[in-house]
């Protein structure tokens, strides 16, 4: 029902017509036509819009209470709300949305950009197009499932603290750093494989105690080593299991005939947590007693 004007009617308004005109200002009935408000409009109660609501200007829409929209909501300025917003229809907002409460909807919300202090979903949040995160993203208590591709680029870009399960293919063009185990049911292909190395100071004895998957020891022969003979050492390392494979090689600044020796490492049933190391002299000459050496070992 629209407003009734005396100039249009040509006579005085009846009491009913006058009351109906006042109802436009007291919001005691529905407005079925167009309404233009050139000043501020303050709504204390609920506002229900079943058609289209178009708001334009600067800092144009501010909502404090509950706002429900079942039709099309178009806003070309800034949309500010401190209450709850429920949108069952389509929303087209070309300006900014600033909200301190909850924004919920039963349909799809499309925006060019978005900024959130946190994003929470009571059900899975499905993202149908590319998402770019300019700040760190933390998943502290729930799982992240990606059925398509995940592309991570930049410096120090992907940090995972809990379990990370991937059922598809992963392509990393940078480095992978892990403090725990990395396992895969398929094939792992890499241009290089590096592990942290643990080094101990030089010792003059026939055993070395050093823990870690990759270790380096400094020692010296305990006696002269004739050609064709071998010298034995023990490597004590809590990473060595009964089914481990331990590989060793002469490394570092080792000089002299000992560099031509062959190193073999054996893990026996009596050596859990340790391995027997042998230096085989096949140089054609005797290697002198106290000859220093540096050797590195990796446990697989």
Per-residue pLDDT of the chain (300 residues; tens, 9 = 90+): 578 888 988 999 899 888 888 876 665 566 666 666 666 666 666 677 766 667 666 666 676 667 776 766 666 666 666 666 666 666 666 666 666 666 666 666 666 666 666 666 666 666 666 666 666 666 665 666 776 677 766 666 666 666 677 766 777 776 777 777 777 777 777 777 777 899 999 999 999 999 999 999 999 999 999 999 999 999 999 999 988 999 999 987 788 989 989 999 999 766 568 899 999 999 999 999 999 999 999 999
Nearest to 203 by CA among 231, 233, 224, 230: 233
| Residue-level pLDDT at 190 | 75
| Residue-level pLDDT at 252 | 79
| Residue-level pLDDT at 298 | 94
| Separation between Cα atoms, residue 40 and residue 199, nearest integer Å | 74
| Residue-level pLDDT at 278 | 95
Q: What is the dihedral sign for C-alpha 165, 171, 176, 181?
A: positive
Q: Which pair of tokens denotes residue 228?
A: 């064709």
Beta carbons of 41 and 62 less than 8 angstroms apart: no
- H or E element, residue 15: helix 15-26
Interacting residues of 93 by C-beta distance below 8 A, sequence separation 6+ = 73, 74, 75, 76, 79, 111
| Separation between Cα atoms, residue 128 and residue 133, nearest integer Å | 15
| Residue-level pLDDT at 116 | 62
pTM attached to this predicted model:
0.47
| Separation between Cα atoms, residue 159 and residue 176, nearest integer Å | 10
Beta carbons of 161 and 179 less than 8 angstroms apart: no
């Amino acid at each position: 029902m629209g407003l009734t004007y005396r100039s249009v009617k040509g006579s005085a308004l009846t009491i009913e017509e006058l009351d109906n005109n006042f109802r436009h200002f007291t919001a005691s009935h529905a407005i079925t036509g167009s309404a233009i408000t050139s000043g501020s409009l303050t709504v204390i109660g609920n506002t229900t819009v079943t058609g289209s609501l178009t708001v334009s200007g600067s800092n144009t829409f501010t909502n404090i209470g509950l706002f429900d929209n079942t039709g099309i909501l178009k806003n070309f300025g800034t949309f500010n709300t401190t209450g709850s917003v429920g949108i069952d229809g389509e929303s087209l907002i070309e300006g900014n949305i600033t909200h301190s409460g909850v924004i919920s909807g039963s349909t799809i919300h499309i925006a060019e950009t978005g900024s959130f202090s946190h994003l929470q979903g009571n059900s899975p949040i499905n993202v149908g197009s590319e998402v770019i995160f300019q700040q760190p993203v933390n998943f502290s208590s729930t799982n992240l499932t990606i059925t398509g591709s995940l592309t991570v680029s930049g410096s120090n870009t992907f940090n995972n603290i809990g379990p990370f399960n991937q059922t598809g293919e992963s392509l990393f063009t940078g480095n992978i750093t892990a403090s725990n185990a990395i396992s895969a049911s398929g094939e792992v292909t890499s241009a290089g494989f590096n592990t942290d190395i643990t080094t101990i100071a030089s010792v003059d004895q026939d055993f070395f105690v050093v823990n870690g998957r990759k270790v380096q020891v400094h020692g010296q022969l305990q006696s002269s080593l004739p050609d064709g003979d071998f010298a034995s050492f023990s490597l004590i390392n809590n990473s060595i299991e009964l089914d481990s494979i331990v590989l060793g090689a002469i490394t570092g600044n080792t000089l002299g005939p000992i560099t031509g020796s062959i190193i073999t490492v054996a893990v026996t049933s009596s050596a859990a947590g340790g391995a027997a190391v042998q230096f085989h002299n096949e140089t054609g000459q005797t290697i002198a007693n106290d000859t220093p050496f540096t050797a590195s070992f990796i446990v697989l």
